[in-house]
């Protein structure tokens, strides 16, 4: 198989073709699960959620709910015919609480009724007898008590204690960073439809149809082959629909199985936010040793992650935080430790970046601190620490950085952003303006592409060629707006050299492509694109033999071009060739399978080559802060992102812009807030602020690194794009730090998110120093 | 009995007068282009035109729609709508697409009132429509492009 971009013809791949659903999106014709016509007799479901953070569930009384007109039933743990399990990795993560409720919003039971409102009203009528228990709500409190959901993880390289003891300068600090709600506009939803002979069809808004299939089967106590999970599209996922959909789909399927009726479960925004997981908030304690130039000699970092009430994906999230603490910098002696702290809050889960943002903001805060302590330019400190010949090319977890593009991306973005000139302008502005301070920052991102767990790095695709030359495509990846479907369709159209509209995109379905991995870790197009490429290429090889025989030429002579198959000056249409192949009883269908090569990972030693390759990017952000109100505004952002040879640059640009703004939200305006009783009080857009139209920088220059095909043999030498640019949003937080640092020249005391309150506190602290000095 | 015009056709509704317009559209009229996002008029996914103005249908009781004219994404027409929808596709605005019906309803309304909006006009008019894919930069550009095509 030849996937080399330089050799393989590229007439469809690499073009900025519109998202396959764009025309339907703008006409309101793209159907999400809640838009599907409901079958007669469809029931609607609502959860009974725990109102307390921690307690013993003695009993509940559903008499009043069951007496309501239209209520079909109430079900809980004791009604589950199979296993009461929904965990993505571990057992013991139950769908319904058994004896203990361990966070506010914990699912206790589910109510079904003839309509949605009745179900919700009935759920509120279920009386709960819960004996309150002491709740652990604080990460550091959980750490002190040694309450963890999974064992500690450690990435250790060299001798950090000696390095710190011998270092000319040692700095330390603590960084707190908040979590983040996914706030996909489409809340969690599933529609379960019972079939004959115990079969169950589940439409689920999920990034992981296979997991939904398996857990629904487990909950119902039936084989996986009786369950099909389908998803055409999600109204946003962002990681929030990786493991969490099993909760919703599991409950809907249970009701459907119990009643024999279709059951739809759609969460209200409040229940979605209270009952499902978010990005992990972390506390990090760090200590770094450096020389006079700011070169890092050793780094000791201890991460405390809020797992919430159970493990879910916290283990792998911590792994990615630990393997991204280096970001772009060579750290000769390292000890990165990660604790998964168990608290009585909703279990945190995957979110775009998956621990990477937490690792990268940590090292960027450290770099910023080093520079300000040593009175050096932060970018100069970055430069002396970049992976490279003068420093080293091996990460603390043992992978070589052998495709380094750090200097290319950082030099180019500094130039395109007019760094030198603007730095001088901003410094002059700050010298003259005590109230509105401006800040400027650049940061690079190196992000590892592949699931850390090697076994997840596989995918399947199914390609059929029909006798009219039209092509049917199915693969294990799911569409959540990231443009995966059009990218994979482009790959298939490229192989056959047919118009893109000859390739029919179809809903992800476990009955068509089995045993898939979640569409996650930015790997969707790498994995599914390559699986589809292999399937299409296999069919093409058979078709080529038929064509060569037909034209009586060598196979090498056969050329596919613009929907036709040529042998010198003779040709047939692609459809005619398909008919000829059928007549000769040649198979026109293929299931492709791809497993990412070269990768390996030892979870015990935390060493290996977990990532097939790295993605590189850099951003420059400028902000203004109001030192009297703490308000901030990003005035300009310049981004340069490596996407290899892009499959679809238009889609990729949208991903970069969106990810950056989502990252900006994480470090600025998005704040999750629990009260003292452990109740999440930010459960809607009225209290939880995601970036809006006014928050996007008025000058926003986004570019793709040109002419840099992936060095690894990915599909058409492209690179992943979903997550890496999210971390570039951290540049805004660094620019806010820069603006605050201008007040007293000191190290800003600023955690994340830099809400106006946090900025104001930090400004006051800096002003206090000014007075003291 | 509540009577209103929906996408140019006379309709009646005789259910609970407190029923939000959103659910009348989705559940009774089977017009599913208008979306539920938050239920508290803070996200904009449910935006429709009520007597020519944008309205959050999720908090609009159907009783208040009596005698009014409702236009949804399915019924939107005219030069502004055409220009906006074309511009949206041309520069790849939608990602997941879920909020886009609401975005388009707000954008069309803006152009109906302000045919040549500034960036500030756009950011202000669109501030009530949130997009988690953060397509704002493209929305801004698409509205400018639509305004240009309407002019030309």
Give the number of C-alpha atoms closer than 13 A to the C-alpha of residue A549, restricted to the C-beta side. 11
B136: chain A residues, CB-CB within 8 Å: 661, 691-693, 695-696
CB contact under 8 A, B138 and A657: yes
Give the other-Cβ count within 10 Å of A357's Cβ.
31
Counted residue by residue, chain A has a size of 773
**pLDDT mean over A116-135:** 98
**Interval A389-407: pLDDT, tens:** 999 999 999 999 999 999 9
Interface test with A, best of B96, B128, B141, B145 (most A CBs within 10 A): B96
- 3-state SS, residue A545: helix
B25: chain A residues, CB-CB within 8 Å: none
B127: chain A residues, CB-CB within 8 Å: 692-694
**pLDDT mean over A250-273:** 98
From the list A185, A237, A268, which residue is nearest B99 (CB)? Answer: A185
pLDDT at residue number A446: 98
- 3-state SS, residue A128: strand
**pLDDT mean over A745-761:** 97
Which CATH code for domain B79-151? 1.10.150.120
**Interval B109-148: pLDDT, tens:** 999 999 999 999 999 999 999 999 999 999 999 999 999 9
Judge whether A664 and A727 are in contact, CB under 8 Å.
no
The answer to whether residue A3 scores a pLDDT higher than 70 is no
Cα A253 from Cα A110, distance rounded (Å): 11
Minimum Cα–Cα distance from A16: chain B residue:
B92
Q: Which of A769, A732, A772 is nearest to A754 (CA)?
A: A732
**Interval A182-231: pLDDT, tens:** 999 999 999 999 999 999 999 999 999 999 999 999 999 999 999 999 99
A416: tokens are 């395109």
The answer to whether residue B73 scores a pLDDT higher than 80 is yes
How far A206 CA lies from chain B's nearest CA (Å)? Answer: 13
How far A661 CA lies from chain B's nearest CA (Å)? Answer: 6
Establish, for the pair of chains A and B, how many residue pairs have beta carbons separated by less than 8 Å.
163
- 3-state SS, residue A92: coil
Minimum Cα–Cα distance from A17: chain B residue:
B92
Counted residue by residue, chain B has a size of 152
Show the domains of chain A with their CATH numbers: 22-30+458-595 (3.30.365.10), 404-451+612-773 (3.30.365.10)
CB contact under 8 A, B133 and A30: no
- Angle A138-A140-A144 (CA atoms, 0-180°, nearest 5)? 115
Listing DSSP states for chain B in one string gives -EEEEETTEEEEE-S-TTSBHHHIIIIIS--TTS--S-SSSSS-TTEEEETTEEEEGGG-BGGGGTT-EEE-TTT--SHHHHHHHHHHHHTT--SS-TTHHHHHHHHHHHHHH-SS--HHHHHHHTTT---TT--HHHHHHHHHHHHHHHH-
How far B3 CA lies from chain A's nearest CA (Å)? Answer: 23
From the list B26, B96, B136, which residue is nearest A480 (CB)? Answer: B96
Cα A262 from Cα A252, distance rounded (Å): 8
pLDDT at residue number A10: 82
Minimum Cα–Cα distance from A650: chain B residue:
B92
From the list A183, A236, A661, which residue is nearest B136 (CB)? Answer: A661
pLDDT at residue number B151: 81
Judge whether B25 and B105 are in contact, CB under 8 Å.
no
From the list B35, B99, B123, which residue is nearest A694 (CB)? Answer: B123
| pTM confidence score | 0.98
The answer to whether residue A15 scores a pLDDT higher than 60 is yes
A723: chain B residues, CB-CB within 8 Å: none
In angstroms, the first-to-last Cα distance of chain A is 68
pLDDT band at A9 (very low <50, low <70, confident <90, very high): low
Burial class (CB within 10 angstroms; exposed 0-12, middle 13-18, buried 19+) of A4 = exposed
Q: Strands A169-177 and A282-290, how do they pair?
A: antiparallel
**Interval A66-86: pLDDT, tens:** 999 999 999 999 999 999 999
The catalytic residue positions of A are: 723
From the list A235, A651, A684, which residue is nearest B98 (CB)? Answer: A235
Interface test with A, best of B94, B119, B125, B131 (most A CBs within 10 A): B94
Query: Comparing B23 with A11, which gets the higher pLDDT?
Result: B23
How far A657 CA lies from chain B's nearest CA (Å)? Answer: 7
From the list A235, A238, A654, which residue is nearest B135 (CB)? Answer: A654
pLDDT band at A360 (very low <50, low <70, confident <90, very high): very high
A262: tokens are 């279709």
The answer to whether residue A23 scores a pLDDT higher than 90 is yes
Judge whether A114 and A70 are in contact, CB under 8 Å.
yes
Judge whether A497 and A11 are in contact, CB under 8 Å.
yes
How far A121 CA lies from chain B's nearest CA (Å)? Answer: 15
pLDDT at residue number A770: 86
> In three state form, how does the secondary structure of A650-689 look?
HHHHHHHHHHHHHHHHHHCCCCCCECCCCCECCCCCCCCC
Judge whether A485 and A232 are in contact, CB under 8 Å.
no
B73: chain A residues, CB-CB within 8 Å: 27-28
Judge whether A10 and A494 are in contact, CB under 8 Å.
yes
Minimum Cα–Cα distance from B72: chain A residue:
A28
Fold of B2-71: Ubiquitin-like (UB roll) (3.10.20)
CB contact under 8 A, A654 and B100: no
Judge whether A484 and A477 are in contact, CB under 8 Å.
yes
- Kindly state the percentage of chain A with pLDDT values over 90: 98
A21: chain B residues, CB-CB within 8 Å: 94, 97
Judge whether A181 and A753 are in contact, CB under 8 Å.
no
A698: chain B residues, CB-CB within 8 Å: 119
- What does the domain layout of chain B look like in residue ranges? 2-71, 79-151
How far A186 CA lies from chain B's nearest CA (Å)? Answer: 6
**pLDDT mean over A147-170:** 98
């Amino acid at each position: 198989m030849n996937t080399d971009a330089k050799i393989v013809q590229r007439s469809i791949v690499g073009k900025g073709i519109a998202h396959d659903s764009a025309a339907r999106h703008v006409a309101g014709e793209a159907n999400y699960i809640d838009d599907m016509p409901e079958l007669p007799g469809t029931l609607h479901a609502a959860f009974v959620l725990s109102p307390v953070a921690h307690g013993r569930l003695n009993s509940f009384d559903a008499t009043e709910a069951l007496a309501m007109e239209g209520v079909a039933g109430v079900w809980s743990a004791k009604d589950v015919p199979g296993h009461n399990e929904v965990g993505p990795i571990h057992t013991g993560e139950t769908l319904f609480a058994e004896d203990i409720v361990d966070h506010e919003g914990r699912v206790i039971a589910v109510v079904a009724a003839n309509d949605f409102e009745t179900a919700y009203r009935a759920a509120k009528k279920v009386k709960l007898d819960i004996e309150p228990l002491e709740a652990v709500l604080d990460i550091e409190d959980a750490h002190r008590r040694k309450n963890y959901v999974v064992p500690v993880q450690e990435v250790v390289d060299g001798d950090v204690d000696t390095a710190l003891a011998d270092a000319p300068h040692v700095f330390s600090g603590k960084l707190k960073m908040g979590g983040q709600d996914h706030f996909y506009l489409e809340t969690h939803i599933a529609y379960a439809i019972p079939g004959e002979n115990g079969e169950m069809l589940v439409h689920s808004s999920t990034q992981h149809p296979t997991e939904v299939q398996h857990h629904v089967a487990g909950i119902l106590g039936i084989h996986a082959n009786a369950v099909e999970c389908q998803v055409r599209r999600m109204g946003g996922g962002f990681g929030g629909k990786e493991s969490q959909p099993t909760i919703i789909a599991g409950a809907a399927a249970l009701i459907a199985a119990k009643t024999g009726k279709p059951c739809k479960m759609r969460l209200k925004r409040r229940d979605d936010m209270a009952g499902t997981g978010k990005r992990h908030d972390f506390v990090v304690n760090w200590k770094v040793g450096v020389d006079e130039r700011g070169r890092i000699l050793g780094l000791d970092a201890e991460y405390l992650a809020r797992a919430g009430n159970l493990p879910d994906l916290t283990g792998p999230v911590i792994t990615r935080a630990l393997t991204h603490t280096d970001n772009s910098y060579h750290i000769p002696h390292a000890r990165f430790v990660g604790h998964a702290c168990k608290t009585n809050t909703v279990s945190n889960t995957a979110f775009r970046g998956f621990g990477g943002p937490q690792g990268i903001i940590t090292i960027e805060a450290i770099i910023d601190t080093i520079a300000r302590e040593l009175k050096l330019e932060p970018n100069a400190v970055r430069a002396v620490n970049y992976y490279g010949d003068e420093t080293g090319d091996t990460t603390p977890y043992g992978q070589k950085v052998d495709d380094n593009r750090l200097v290319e991306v950082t030099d180019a973005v500094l130039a395109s952003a007019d760094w030198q000139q603007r730095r001088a302008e901003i410094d002059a502005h700050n010298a003259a303006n005590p109230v509105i301070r401006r800040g400027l920052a650049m940061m690079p991102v190196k992000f590892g592409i592949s699931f850390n767990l090697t076994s997840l790095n596989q995918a399947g695709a199914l390609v059929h060629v029909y006798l009219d030359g039209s092509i049917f495509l199915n693969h294990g990846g799911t569409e959540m707006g990231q443009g995966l479907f059009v990218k994979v369709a482009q790959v298939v159209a490229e192989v056959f050299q047919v118009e893109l509209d000859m390739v029919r995109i179809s809903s992800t379905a476990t009955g068509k492509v089995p045993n898939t991995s979640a569409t996650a870790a930015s790997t969707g197009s790498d994995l599914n694109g390559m699986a589809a490429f292999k399937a299409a290429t296999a069919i093409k090889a058979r078709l080529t033999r038929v064509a060569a025989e037909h034209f009586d030429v060598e196979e090498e002579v056969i050329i596919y071009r613009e929907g036709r198959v040529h042998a010198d000056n003779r040709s047939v249409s692609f459809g005619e060739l398909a008919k000829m192949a059928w007549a000769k009883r040649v198979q026109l269908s293929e299931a492709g399978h791809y497993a990412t090569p070269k990768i390996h990972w030892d979870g015990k030693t935390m060493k290996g080559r977990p990532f097939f390759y790295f993605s590189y990017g850099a951003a420059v952000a400028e902000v203004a802060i109001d030192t009297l109100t703490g308000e901030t505004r990003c005035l300009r952002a310049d981004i340069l992102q490596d996407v290899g040879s892009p499959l679809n640059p238009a889609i990729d640009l949208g991903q970069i812009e969106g990810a950056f703004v989502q990252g900006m939200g994480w470090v600025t305006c998005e704040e999750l807030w629990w009260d003292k009783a452990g109740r999440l009080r930010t459960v809607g857009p009225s209290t939880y602020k995601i970036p809006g139209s006014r928050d996007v920088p008025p000058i926003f220059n986004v570019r793709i690194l040109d002419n840099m095909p992936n060095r690894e043999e990915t599909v058409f030498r492209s690179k992943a794009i979903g997550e890496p640019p999210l971390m570039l949003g951290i540049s805004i937080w660094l620019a806010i730090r820069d603006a605050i640092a201008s007040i007293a020249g000191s190290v800003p005391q600023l955690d994340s998110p830099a809400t106006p309150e946090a900025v104001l506190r930090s400004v006051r602290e800096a002003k206090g120093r000014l007075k003291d000095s | 009995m509540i009577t209103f015009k929906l996408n140019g056709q006379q309709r009646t509704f005789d259910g609970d007068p407190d029923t939000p317009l959103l659910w009348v559209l989705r559940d009774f009229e089977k017009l599913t282009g208008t979306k539920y996002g938050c239920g508290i008029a803070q996200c904009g996914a449910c935006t429709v035109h009520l007597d020519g103005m944008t309205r959050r249908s999720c908090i609009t009781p159907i009783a208040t729609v009596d005698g009014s004219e409702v236009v949804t994404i399915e019924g939107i027409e005219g030069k502004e709508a055409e220009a906006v929808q074309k511009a949206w596709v041309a520069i790849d605005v939608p990602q997941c697409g879920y909020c886009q019906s609401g975005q388009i309803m707000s954008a069309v309304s803006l152009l109906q009132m302000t045919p040549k909006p500034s960036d500030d006009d756009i950011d202000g008019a669109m501030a009530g429509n949130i997009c988690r894919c953060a397509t704002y930069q493209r929305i801004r550009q698409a509205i400018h492009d639509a305004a240009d095509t309407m002019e030309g």
